Amino acid sequence: MSEITRRNLLAMIGTAAGSTAMYHAMASMGFAAPSDYSGPIKLDGDPQGAKVLILGAGLAGLTAAYEMRAAGYEVEVLEFREKAGGRCWTLRSGDSYTELGGAIQNVDFAEGNYINPGPWRLPHNHHAVLDYCKRLKVPLEPFIQLNYNSYLHKSDAYGGKPQRLKDIKTDYRGHISELLAKAVNQGKLDELVTAEDREVLLESLRSFGVLNEQNEYVKSLETSEYRGYAKQPGGGVGAAPEASDLLNPQEVLQSRLWEYLATHETVDHQAPMFQPVGGMDGIAKGFEREVGDLITYNAKVVSLQQDENGVTVTWEDSAGGGQKTSKADYCVCTIPFSILGQIDHNLSGGLANAISSMYYNGSTKWGLEFKRRFWEEDEDIYGGISYTDLAIGQISYPSTGYFSDGPGVLLGGYTWRGENSYKFNAMEPDERLEWALREGAKIHPQYRDEFKTGVSVAWHKVPWVLGCSGIWENRDDYDEAIKIDNRVVCAGEHLSYLPAWQEGAILSSLDAISRLHDKVING
């Protein structure tokens, strides 16, 4: 395939299916990669007692503390919160969360239940975060991203009735394969397909689309093996299975439910995916076991100043200790730019401009606890995600605790950017909860009767970040932001090509401290 043909193909994919599909195609052609981590870094050379001050104990800051202590630096970490992890955060029974504006939510989940308001899954190809989990002895378990028995839903499709993903996926694939087979048979693709390839293509369509020998996608036991039977095969008398009816091809197309099918195919969402056992903050706790003694919690940074001799940071002890000052030779600043832009600093013009020009994604997540796991008991859904065009966006089912009695927690909604996130930002927690229940009931009618308690996090109202993840509109600003600014270097997910992923935070930190270490050693 020539380079120009590749470009044309990628442009066609992007136009027809959107940027997500194009990214997946780019990755398959070797033009994009999920992570460039190649193993633990080596910070060779003696820093001769140099002190580094790390601002923020999210994963970027924790990574910097872990590696720089090992390299011989004197390390001090200042963290705004009462715990480490930043957006690597888990809410459990007994936790209390106060959002911007003062609304307080007290979490009343059953023992062992939790919700991850921030990152909630680990791609198998995010090598850095997985390596740190292994090194820090953070146990992982499978996260179920794709469940063929979950639902796809649009308000104006099928009378608002949710459809099983397997029905839409199988029928869409079958109908499209039949159309393409017809085009081949009618000679419509003769200019693109050789006579030899024509037969192979038809054979592949019969296999891929479950077509019969006449290249038709029809109701049959064969198609039912993929989309499910009207009557399941059994044993003994009357055990023969019955084929299920196919969805009308025009309805499948017009429903636009196929828009959700590629979500699971991007490189960052392909199976297998993982999650820490017991909650995402297991990663933060793993780091804390190693470097927790270096961290001062409840430290609100109010000023960051540097000169040719070092760095001076003024911070307030929000636990009641008044204002204090920390000094160091160098600083690794992992404070999100949404917060750093509000702090007094004397950083250079290029970096200061990048900080002030960045804005942050909005996102909202709900953790809804129900009295029983009705999605399993009533609907045979074990893990995975259902998607909807309603404002809540999606519903994710727990990947563990199958068949257990008692309460279970769903991720009852997850918005990403866009007007819905702004809509929920403007609401109080009780109103957000009501929206999640009202809209969720359109997917699962059991919602109201089975609901027990819930919590929601609108990320633009989270005091220590004021947003979900950083967005760059100008890559020149990015290039300025990653430079070492005299004695300060910045790091975090916002300074990576993997925004919103923990992998991006770790890789950004490793890159930043490697360059800073080189400056310390070599001048």
Q: Where are the domains of the chain?
A: 1-32, 51-86+294-359+470-522, 91-149+272-280+362-461, 164-255
CA 497/CA 503 separation, integer angstroms = 10
| Per-residue pLDDT, 27 | 38
| Per-residue pLDDT, 24 | 38
DSSP structure class, residue 469: S
Half-sphere exposure at residue 131, Cβ-oriented, CA atoms within 13 angstroms: 15
| Per-residue pLDDT, 180 | 95
| Per-residue pLDDT, 26 | 37
Q: What percent of the chain has pLDDT over 90?
A: 86
- Evaluate if residue 16 carries a pLDDT over 80: no
DSSP structure class, residue 292: G
Could you please state the CATH topology (level 3) that the domain comprising 51-86+294-359+470-522 is classified under: FAD/NAD(P)-binding domain (3.50.50)
| Per-residue pLDDT, 272 | 96
Q: How many CB atoms within 10 Å of residue 512?
A: 23
Q: How many CB atoms within 10 Å of residue 445?
A: 12
| Per-residue pLDDT, 23 | 38
Single pTM value for the model: 0.91
**Residue 27 near residue 268, CB atoms below 8 Å:** no
- Residue 3's pLDDT band, with cuts at 50, 70 and 90, is very low
* Model pLDDT for residues 146-161, shown as the tens digit of each residue: 999 999 999 999 999 9
Mean pLDDT (whole number) for 472-493: 94
Mean pLDDT (whole number) for 443-466: 97
Mean pLDDT (whole number) for 365-376: 98
* Model pLDDT for residues 94-145, shown as the tens digit of each residue: 999 999 999 999 999 999 999 999 999 999 999 999 999 999 999 999 999 9
| Per-residue pLDDT, 34 | 58
DSSP structure class, residue 270: P
Question: Which class is 164-255 in CATH?
Answer: mainly alpha
| Per-residue pLDDT, 13 | 38
Residues 6+ apart with CB under 8 A from 226: 166, 170, 210
Mean pLDDT (whole number) for 230-241: 96
Q: What percent of the chain has pLDDT over 70?
A: 93
Tell me if residue 400 falls in helix, strand or coil: coil
| CATH code at 91-149+272-280+362-461 | 3.90.660.10
Q: How many CB atoms within 10 Å of residue 456?
A: 27
* Model pLDDT for residues 483-501, shown as the tens digit of each residue: 999 999 999 999 999 999 9
- Evaluate if residue 15 carries a pLDDT over 80: no
Tell me if residue 26 falls in helix, strand or coil: helix
Strand stretches in 65-214, DSSP E: 74-78, 91-92, 96-98, 104-106, 114-115, 122-123, 140-143, 151-153, 163-164
**Residue 311 near residue 328, CB atoms below 8 Å:** yes
DSSP structure class, residue 211: -
* Model pLDDT for residues 21-34, shown as the tens digit of each residue: 333 333 333 333 45
Cα-based torsion angle of the residue sequence 387, 388, 394, 396 in order, rounded to the nearest 10 degrees: -50
Higher per-residue confidence, 492 vs 473: 492
| Per-residue pLDDT, 2 | 36
- Residue 231's pLDDT band, with cuts at 50, 70 and 90, is very high
| Per-residue pLDDT, 223 | 97
- Evaluate if residue 39 carries a pLDDT over 90: no
Instruction: Match 């093996």 to its residue by tokens.
Output: 225
Mean pLDDT, the chain, integer: 92
- Evaluate if residue 7 carries a pLDDT over 70: no
CA 320/CA 19 separation, integer angstroms = 49
* Model pLDDT for residues 42-66, shown as the tens digit of each residue: 999 999 999 999 999 999 999 999 9
